[in-house]
């Protein structure tokens, strides 16, 4: 039996997902990755819960809703593309966002609400990004060439942070992430 995982994420507007899908299409051929995410799966992870028992998951939902009750919508700006892992063979290809105090505050509220529900969460610093692909399988990854093809580094793309979603993973499916519950910002 495959384990399922749950996570909270900032939901991206459809226009942003479409833009990132078009960007992925421009670079796919020259930069092959084992898995390209379905555009409906694009998000910014706020807290990864892992295998979440129902009772704890429900408590986290209650806590998150309370924590976000007076949080306002805010604007973010896409800011280029990058990788995690080795330059020659990256693990993750991502789109970034400009640093945002509102986003960091939102992540902290969601993270704390989940800890208060009993979850032990990753202690690594929050690095907001939107995963586009995983596991480079080509011969020679060239970051500069990929950024040139992607063509989002020198442009300003605005998006609104308006909804936090609890997702459940369904590995092997496309899209892989099923929305379970949402919390709208005011």
Residues with catalytic function: 43, 129
How far is Cα 110 from Cα 47, in angstroms, rounded to an integer? 7
Report residue 109 as tokens: 């509220």
36: nearest Cα among 53, 21, 48: 21
Q: Cα dist. 72→56, 98, 99, 162 in Å?
A: 26, 18, 17, 8
Which of the 8 DSSP states describes residue 26?
H
Whether residue 12 contacts residue 130, with contact meaning beta carbons closer than 8 Å, is answered with yes
Q: Where are the beta strands (DSSP E) in 1-73?
A: 6-11, 33-36, 43-50
Report residue 159 as tokens: 């998006």
Q: Where are the alpha helices (DSSP H) in the chain?
A: 14-28, 54-67, 101-116, 143-150
């Amino acid at each position: 039996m495959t384990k399922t995982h749950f996570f909270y994420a900032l939901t991206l507007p459809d226009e942003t997902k479409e833009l990132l899908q078009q960007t992925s299409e421009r670079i796919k051929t020259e930069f092959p990755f084992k898995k390209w995410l379905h555009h409906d799966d694009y998000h910014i992870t706020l807290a990864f819960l892992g295998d979440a028992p129902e009772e704890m998951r429900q408590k986290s939902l209650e806590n998150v809703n309370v924590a976000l009750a007076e949080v306002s919508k805010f604007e973010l700006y896409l800011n280029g593309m990058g990788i995690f892992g080795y330059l020659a063979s990256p693990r993750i290809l991502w789109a970034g966002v400009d640093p945002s105090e509102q986003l960091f505050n939102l992540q902290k509220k969601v993270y704390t609400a989940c800890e208060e529900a009993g979850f032990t969460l990753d202690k690594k610093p929050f690095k907001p990004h939107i995963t586009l692909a995983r596991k480079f399988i080509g011969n020679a990854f060239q970051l500069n060439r990929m950024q040139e093809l992607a063509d989002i580094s020198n442009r300003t793309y605005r998006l609104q942070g308006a909804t936090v979603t609890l997702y459940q993973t369904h590995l092997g499916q496309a899209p892989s992430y099923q929305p379970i519950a949402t919390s709208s910002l005011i």
